[in-house]
Structure formats: structure tokens, C-alpha cells
Amino acid sequence: MEIRNIAIIAHVDHGKTALTDAILKQTGAAKEGTTMDTNALEQERGITIYAKNAAVEYKGTKINIVDTPGHADFGSEVERVLRSIDSVLLIVDAQEGPMPQTRFVLKKSLELGLRPIVVINKVDKPAADPARTEEQVLELFLELGASDEQSSFPVVYAIGRDGRAALHPDELRMAGPMAEADLSPLLDLILEKVPPANPPSLGATEGTVRLMLQPFNLAYDNFMGRLAVGRIYEGTVRPNQTVFIKTPDGLTRTGKTTKVFTFKGLERVEVAEASAGDIALIAGLPDIYIGETVTTDESAGPLPAIAVDEPTIALNFLVNNSPFAGREGKYVTSRQLRDRLMKELEVNVGLKIDFDATEVFHVSGRGELHIAVLLENMRREGYELQVSEPHVILREENGVKLEPFEEVVIDTPSEFQGAIIEKLGQRAFILSDIRLASSDRSPASSVRLTLVGPTRGLLGYKNMFIIDTKGEGILSSRFVGFKPYAGEIKKRQVGSMISMASGKSLGYALWYLQDRGQLYIKPATEVYEGMVVGNTAKGEEMMVNPTKGKNQSNVRSSGMDEALTLVPIFDLTIERGMEIMGDDEYLEITPTSVRLRKQFLTENDRAKSRR
């Protein structure tokens, strides 16, 4: 059976997973309602976080499909997959056109010599313009230095949600929303344009071709342990086969496979062997890592290493030492944190961790969301810890201090553009382009802003952006490289409201405090000395007592029975906490709570630390 290996790449929310789900359903590989986004966090957030494999059969050909994340913070998931496939489906929203992550994933694909198939999706949107989008995609190909062959890309139009595709957008529009789901034009194009992954080896007989396999992902099974998900470049892999594992730097060790699986739909199926071109899961190699080479020839050199871009932000993970430490978490010690982070390093290639210190682990990642997803997974598993404020990773080259810069693309109603440009201007961002952009709500009054500035300026801005645009703006960013340091940026406009007492907060005290700033806690919340319970509008730190109750008296007064009306609080989540925390604060994360606290809990300790 011939094999085709493809990855589906796109900007976030351009319809990758919906299209993949429709392909699985129409080829009979999955039931109605099945989705590639199986992780609980993915379903809650509505985004893809982890790259996942599936396989379908169409016209006697097996098509291995890898669904990849669209968010820039999970770019490492895309980078490691692209080496293992033969072509990509580049999904582009017919209304939004190419976005920052479209550029990132396309650039990586073109560098590897892949020839993408462009799918212009969501052509049923009211403001969709497929012709303009196709022109913008061609401009992007040429801008990224695509070859003549790559620039002559085939185009197919789709409505992924309805499972329909056509070679011309008018066919989809004329058919109407009640037309029968049919993705055969897209699947036929895959068979025609994607080269076979398993060309026959001339003059080779069974057993003479050495095995060459490289894992690009890892899975885990409670009974079989670690599983390597890899592309077979040469030869055949079988159960109980003695193999040599080679690291990128040339070291060799031996191992023995126990079981071999391939994909059928979303399920893994045990097989007697898997041959060249296929994507397989291998059990029995407990110390296998992403990017290593599995071979039956001890003299063979390792396959080229899977290159991943460097992290851009860093922060410290610490053992929780607050007064509430150990109350809510199951895993609270530094040894347990160390083991969990070492396990994460096995599958999260975009992460770097320094384990030199015993109580503090220096973690570097690709962005706030990248770190926030790790923290959310850890808290759900029962871990309790605290983290410091994220900061960007600085470099020095030829005596010049460099920092990471990002390109930000913002779609917003035009009445909000002044506030956005002003706020980002204060954070050292420079406006590089502004143009009219169509939107579903108001096709004539939406603008697309393109700005370039330091990653530092984006830390803590996204919540402010939501408020400035009243939730109607869309912000996307991509890393563009290291540039000279942009100088000091004053991001924090508010101060901290710090509890001076321990106990249970009372509505009476919070009623008076809410006039001073925004509160982070509700009545009857347990607090401790040094915990941050809100912010102050004037930008100064203020010691408060949220546990103060109303004095009892037998003297009647006119205002005595006044109703207490509390405004809604600013509910702390991991991402919000990382945005608003100061450099002298920790974010305390437990399975049931997220709290902000000062690093030094008492006023005396804070005064000493400032000297």
C-alpha cells in the first residue's frame, strides 16, 4: 500500500482541527463527534496544544496526518513534526488572510524544501475574499524566498466545519449550506501532489535494507512505558528486534523493541512490522528521546538533529513556602517538582530547565501561554508550587545587549486603534503598517495594525488589550529575532494591596477597600499576612486588613443597616497572575487556588530587602 505523510499547519483558529476531523469522519476512520483535540485543556480553550497523529485510507492509499498547534508559543510542536512528513496543507482563513503564525510555519516548511498545498478555508464567512487571500499567500511565498516549484502551489477551497471542499470557491457558494459534505477534491489533490513516502528500493531484497527511524514525538502507556512516535526512513521495524540508538552527537547504545504499532484513524493498531515511509509507535526503548536515530546498522551515522528555536522567556519554579503550603496539594516537595519537570523535558522540546539549584528551578519557554499550560497541567495533577515573574532572555553579542523582538498583528474596530497605539508605544513598540481590514461585524470600520517591539512590552499587556478593545480585538504575535535592547519600559501602572493580617476576609472590610482599587478575593476567602488581595489605582503599595469586621454597638445610627454592594472581583488565573505580578511577588499555584503574594511576607522583611 502506498503511503502519503502530511502535516496540517496554520495560524491559530484557521480551522486545522475541524478540517482534520471532517477528513477522519468522511473516510470512515472516526465516528461522528470524534475530535483530534482530546486533551481537557484543548477542549476548554478551543485550541490545539499538542501535535497528534491520525491515519486514513483513501482509494487504496494510506494517508498519515499530523495535526499541529497554531499558537506561536507551541511552535516547537510544529518544528519537530515538519522533518518527518513529505508535504503540508497550509490552511488560511479566507477572511483574515495570512497571519503571523502562517508566516512562521510556512517559513519552516519552505526551508525544508516541502511543497505546500494551500487550503483557503472558511469561504462562507460574510466578509471572505478568497481571491485576495490567494494573492496575499503568493506574496508571502515570494517574500519568504520560495522556489519556483514551491510558488506554483495548488489551491483548494474549503468550509472545514461543514466538511466540504472544491477547486473553485463559487462551487461552494452556489451549493449552499445544505449541500452534502464532500472533501474528495482535497483528498484527490493530496494523492496527486504529495510524493509517495515509500518508493521501492531498487535491487533491495527483504531484510537487506537497514532500519533508519527517527522519533519526533513521545507517548506513554501504563503497561508498556515510553513509546516513540517516529518516521521510518529506511528498512522495516519489527517486535523483538535488536537496535542501536544513536544520539545527535554520535553516542551509541543498544535496545530491543517489544511491540510495534501504526495508526488507524485515531487508534493505534499493533502490527507484525512497519516499513519505510510509515509513521510507527515503538515500545521497549525506555530511554529513547526525540531526535535520536534508531537503526539496525551499528556503523550508520545519526540522522540530522531536529532543530528547535530557542526559548524567549524565563522564570523560576519554587517549592511553595507560604503559610498555606501543603494544605491543598498532593506533591509539594522539591524532589517531586524536579521529577515532574524532568518528565516534561522528555516530550516538551521547546522547554529548557536548569536543575543546578536544589530549591529553585530556572524554566525557559517560548511564551507565557507555553508556561501557563505546563503550570495548569501540573496543578491538575496535584502539584503545589510558586513561580516568579516571567522575564525575557537577554543575549550579548560583540558587546551589544540584545533582547527578543516580536511582530504583533492586531485586528480591531477603528475606534480603538488610538488607545492600542498609545499603550504599545509606551512599551517601545513601533507601528510599521496600518490598513483597512474587513470583519464579520463591520466590514468597513475595522483596521489591521502591524507593530514591532520587544517581547518585554507584551508581557502583561494582553489583559489591558481586552479591556481597551472591549473584547472585540484580535492580537497575534510571532518572534522575529534578537535586536538591540530597547531601554527601560514601565509596565506596571498600579500598586499592590497587601494583607496585614491572617484570617478570613469579610464583606464589610472589602466594601471599603474596593474604592481604593480592584480586588482579587471574595468574602470568606482565607488570607495570610503578605498576600496580595488587590491592586491600588494610585500605583502605591498599601497595607490593608481584609479581615476587619464591623464593631458591635447598642447605639442605633442612621447608616447602620446600609446594604453592602461589592463589585465583581478580578478573578486570578495562572495567565492573569503572570501578567499582573510584580518583580517582588510570587504566584502561588495549588490544585484549587491561585494566589498572589509578596516574596517577603512581613513589612519588616520587605524593608530589609530594599536596603
CA distance 516 to 514: 5
CA distance 149 to 476: 30
Q: What cell numbers appear for 449 in the block? A: 495594525
CA distance 540 to 496: 7
The pLDDT score that the predictor gives to residue 362 is 94
Nearest to 510 by CA among 552, 472, 460, 546: 546
How many distinct structural domains can be found in the chain?
A: 4
Asked if 424 and 562 sit in the same domain, the reply is no
Do the beta carbons of residue 7 and residue 48 sit within 8 Å? no
Asked if 541 and 504 sit in the same domain, the reply is yes
The answer to whether residue 489 is domain-embedded is no
The answer to whether residue 86 is domain-embedded is yes
Residue environment code for 444-467, b if the CB has 16+ CB neighbours within 10 A, otherwise e: eebbbbebbbbbbbbbbbeebbee
The answer to whether residue 410 is domain-embedded is yes
- pLDDT-derived band at 552 (thresholds 50, 70, 90) equals confident
The DSSP element (H or E) to which 3 belongs, if any, is strand 2-10
Asked if 466 and 515 sit in the same domain, the reply is no
The answer to whether residue 61 is domain-embedded is yes
pLDDT tens string 219-243: 877 788 888 889 999 889 999 999 9
Residue environment code for 147-157, b if the CB has 16+ CB neighbours within 10 A, otherwise e: eeebeebebbb
Do the beta carbons of residue 303 and residue 214 sit within 8 Å? yes
pLDDT tens string 182-194: 888 999 999 998 8
CA distance 312 to 404: 6
Asked if 527 and 467 sit in the same domain, the reply is no
The pLDDT score that the predictor gives to residue 442 is 42
For residue 218, the cross-strand partners are 228
Q: Which of 484, 508, 537 is the last residue in one of the domains?
A: 484
Where helices occur in 144-251 by DSSP H, the ranges are: 148-151, 169-175, 184-193
The pLDDT score that the predictor gives to residue 49 is 80
The pLDDT score that the predictor gives to residue 15 is 85
CA distance 275 to 55: 15
In angstroms and rounded to an integer, the radius of gyration of the C-alpha atoms of the chain is 27
Residue 98 in this model has a pLDDT that exceeds 80: yes
Asked if 480 and 528 sit in the same domain, the reply is no
Q: What cell numbers appear for 230 in the block? A: 517516529
Q: What cell numbers appear for 468 in the block? A: 481597551
Choice among 264-273, 379-388, 488-497, 503-512 with the minimum mean pLDDT:
488-497
Asked if 54 and 142 sit in the same domain, the reply is yes
Q: Residue 218 is part of a domain; what is its CATH number?
A: 2.40.30.10
The pLDDT score that the predictor gives to residue 156 is 93
The answer to whether residue 81 is domain-embedded is yes
Q: Residue 504 is part of a domain; what is its CATH number?
A: 2.40.50.250
* DSSP annotation string for 302-313: PPPP---PPP-E
CA distance 158 to 185: 10
Do the beta carbons of residue 450 and residue 407 sit within 8 Å? yes
Residue 363 in this model has a pLDDT that exceeds 90: yes
- Grid cell 512497519 is found at 274
The pLDDT score that the predictor gives to residue 177 is 65
Asked if 537 and 480 sit in the same domain, the reply is no
Q: Residue 405 is part of a domain; what is its CATH number?
A: 3.30.70.240
pLDDT tens string 38-74: 778 877 777 778 888 888 898 889 999 988 887 777 8
Q: How far is CA 436 from CA 120, 414, 421, 444, 473, in A?
A: 21, 9, 15, 8, 14
pLDDT tens string 367-423: 888 899 999 999 999 999 999 999 988 988 888 999 999 889 888 888 888 999 998
Choice among 97-111, 146-160, 394-408, 416-430 with the minimum mean pLDDT:
97-111
The pairing of strands 495-499 and 531-536 is: antiparallel
Asked if 500 and 446 sit in the same domain, the reply is no
Asked if 420 and 272 sit in the same domain, the reply is no
Q: Stretch 499-527: mean pLDDT, rounded?
A: 91
Do the beta carbons of residue 558 and residue 574 sit within 8 Å? no
Do the beta carbons of residue 589 and residue 600 sit within 8 Å? no
The answer to whether residue 547 is domain-embedded is yes
Q: What length is written for the chain?
A: 611
User: What pTM, to 2 d.p., does this model score?
Assistant: 0.84
Burial class (CB in 10 A: 0-12, 13-18, 19+), 232: buried
Q: Which of 295, 318, 347 is the last residue in one of the domains?
A: 295
Q: Residue 415 gets which letter from DSSP?
A: G
Between 480 and 385, the more confident residue is 385
Asked if 51 and 165 sit in the same domain, the reply is yes
pLDDT tens string 332-362: 999 999 999 988 887 787 889 998 888 899 9
Between 564 and 340, the more confident residue is 340
The DSSP element (H or E) to which 155 belongs, if any, is strand 155-159
For residue 364, the cross-strand partners are 314, 352
The answer to whether residue 513 is domain-embedded is yes
The DSSP element (H or E) to which 589 belongs, if any, is strand 585-589
Kindly give, in sequence order, each residue whose CB lies less than 8 Å from that of residue 26, ignoring residues fewer than 6 positions away: 163, 181, 182, 183
Q: Stretch 126-142: mean pLDDT, rounded?
A: 90
Q: Stretch 88-107: mean pLDDT, rounded?
A: 87
The answer to whether residue 562 is domain-embedded is yes
Nearest to 531 by CA among 241, 375, 299, 325: 325
* DSSP annotation string for 218-239: EEEETTTEEEEEEEEEESEE-T
Q: What cell numbers appear for 471 in the block? A: 473584547
The pLDDT score that the predictor gives to residue 564 is 78
Cα dihedral angle (130, 131, 136, 141), rounded to 10 degrees?
100
Q: Residue 265 gets which letter from DSSP?
A: B
Mean model confidence pLDDT for the chain: 86
Where helices occur in 497-541 by DSSP H, the ranges are: 507-513
CA distance 183 to 19: 9
Which SS3 state, helix, strand or coil, does residue 140 take? helix
Asked if 580 and 456 sit in the same domain, the reply is no
Q: Which of 484, 503, 530 is the last residue in one of the domains?
A: 484
- Grid cell 480586588 is found at 519
Asked if 134 and 232 sit in the same domain, the reply is no
Rounded (10°) angle between helices 75-82 and 100-111: 20
Choice among 170-184, 498-512, 521-535 with the minimum mean pLDDT:
170-184
- pLDDT-derived band at 557 (thresholds 50, 70, 90) equals low
Residue ranges making up the domain that contains 25: 2-193
Kindly give, in sequence order, each residue whose CB lies less than 8 Å from that of residue 372, ignoring residues fewer than 6 positions away: 574, 575, 578
